[in-house]
Amino acid sequence: MDKKKNDPNKNNSTLITHGGTNLPSVTIDGYNLELKDKDGFIGDRASKSAFQDKLDDWRKRIRKGGEDPLGDIATKDLSKKQIDAVLTGKDKEAAALVMGAVEDFSGEIAHVLGKFLKEDSWKGTERVVVGGGLKESGFGELAIARAMVLLKAEGFKIELTPIVHHPDEAGLIGAAHLMPAWMIGGYDAILAVDIGGTNIRAGVVEMDLKNKPDLSKAAVWKFDLWRHADDAPSRSATVERLAAMLDTLIAKAEKAKLTLAPVIGIACPGIINPDGSIKRGGQNLPGGNWESDTFNLGEALVKAIPSIGAHDTVVIIHNDAVVQGLSQIPFMQDVDKWGVITIGTGLGNARFTNKTPKKKSDKN
């Protein structure tokens, strides 16, 4: 077998651009799809807070006929582990209460995806990966499976599956798939950043290209987490802190004798312009207007970190749902067209077409 023919990173002619649709292994058919109904963006119906609202609503309704089996703790203070424990515990009334919320929430996921799948950019989707924190819970995986059942009952030939990597790591690992092979070949790792409305994660992603050129063994070696929502920093202070996090990671990599490619992949909310500025969708980012004509995150970081090793720094920025989805590329080779939704503060989304068609044996 010719490994080069099967290497999804073989397309060295891929144009390096922020927010690009032509990536080494996939074409992005669309991302950040914003559909509305009379109540606003339909994606908000399948967000993290939407599940909490469903559970809270059931608790209020059950109190009309008796005591709340979940006690006095506020819904927002219930952890995923606590909800999972209720769902599998001996108190069947409490479990049934959580099941009601799961059923309602899975219906919302199915409703939103049903709308997506009717859009031109999503037609023909064979599988949808579900990312975000929901994956890290039993009730979340149950909601995903139930949504798939509901969609199939409506006639959609679709598979829903939780994302493979931990959601916190998927948003970093996916950055390696932004880079054409010539940019990362010969290096051990890259720097990656995932910027959200509450946290910023910066990490070193080991690529293991020698053993798996398809990046299927890429993993986060080290990462740093800053919960900026607790500090309410200015935009400039945010960039300074991020640069300091990256400098620390660079030093750790050098000490461990990991050779870093001179690139930083960044996942960021919103629509990303080719010059790296944010067109829209950055309203939840900390400390000011990230969509300003006078601000460019890539340029600011290059100024703060002008070189990595012996080479000038290159920054590539893309939408955070896109980047989280890209981490799934090695595991999506048995389909042609697939998508991702990320359930968090909002509902991120992207749809991909693989550049290497699935094997004939997979179609039979």
Distance of CA 250 to the CA centre of its chain: 24
| 324-336 as b/e: b if 16+ CB within 10 A | bbbbbbbbbbebb
* pLDDT at 340 (0 to 100): 97
Residue recorded with tokens 């080479």: 311
**pLDDT above 90 (res 190):** yes
The third-level CATH classification (topology) of the domain covering 179-320 is Nucleotidyltransferase; domain 5 (3.30.420)
* pLDDT at 2 (0 to 100): 42
> Domain limits of the chain?
36-162, 179-320
Are 299 and 276 in contact by the 8 Å Cβ rule? The answer is: yes
pLDDT band at 4 (very low <50, low <70, confident <90, very high): very low
Please state whether beta strands 127-132 and 159-162 pair in parallel, antiparallel, or not at all (unpaired): parallel
* pLDDT at 11 (0 to 100): 43
Average pLDDT, the chain: 91
pTM here is 0.89
pLDDT band at 321 (very low <50, low <70, confident <90, very high): very high
Are 171 and 267 in contact by the 8 Å Cβ rule? The answer is: yes
Q: pLDDT tens digit string along 278-317?
A: 998 888 898 889 999 999 999 999 999 999 999 999 999 9
Report the pLDDT averaged over residues 172-198.
94
pLDDT band at 119 (very low <50, low <70, confident <90, very high): very high
pLDDT band at 243 (very low <50, low <70, confident <90, very high): very high
